């Protein structure tokens, strides 16, 4: 099973075991954008909890309302979360997110996609 979807802010690839969300290069992720990103992810997941790989390498700015929404409502149906980053900008964003939004969901940031996938596999088997 492989499904894809796209909106103005992200591209989604759903496989049997993983949701991959690739954030697009936009000037700002605000609350409205965050709500759409989460809504579309949850629509594709159809209520199934699974690991999520978020490629945030092209993200430059996320406002506080969007960060808070993604940390709370955006955490539903996520078993483990890996951020794919491109230092220094998205590294700073992911560190800030992880340190200010503690969660029970295993969460980490990676420069390497293979390391991110290994983390997700380890925390979901």
DSSP string covering 48-104:
--EEEEEE-TT---B-HHHHHHHHTGGGTTEEEEEEE--TTHHHHHHHHHHHHS--S
Kindly state the average pLDDT of the residues 23-48.
96
Pairing of strands 10-15, 50-55: unpaired
Kindly state the average pLDDT of the residues 72-95.
81
The pLDDT value recorded for residue 98 is: 62
Kindly state the average pLDDT of the residues 51-67.
93
Here the tokens at position 89 are 């900008």
The domains found in the chain, sorted by start residue, are 2-122 (3.30.750.24)
Q: Return d(Cα 98, Cα 114) in angstroms, integer.
A: 20
Please state the pTM of the whole predicted model. 0.88
The pLDDT value recorded for residue 2 is: 76
């Amino acid at each position: 099973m492989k499904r894809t979807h796209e909106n103005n802010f992200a591209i989604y690839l759903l496989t049997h075991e993983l949701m991959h969300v690739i954030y697009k290069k936009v000037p700002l992720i605000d609350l409205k954008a965050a709500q759409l990103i989460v809504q579309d992810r949850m629509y594709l997941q159809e209520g199934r909890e699974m690991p999520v790989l978020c490629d945030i390498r092209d993200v430059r700015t996320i406002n506080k309302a969007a960060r808070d929404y993604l940390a709370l409502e955006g955490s539903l149906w996520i078993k483990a979360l890996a951020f794919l980053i491109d230092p220094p900008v998205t590294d700073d964003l992911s560190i800030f997110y992880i340190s200010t939004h503690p969660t029970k969901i295993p969460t980490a940031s990676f420069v390497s996609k293979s390391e991110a996938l290994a983390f997700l596999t380890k925390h979901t088997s």
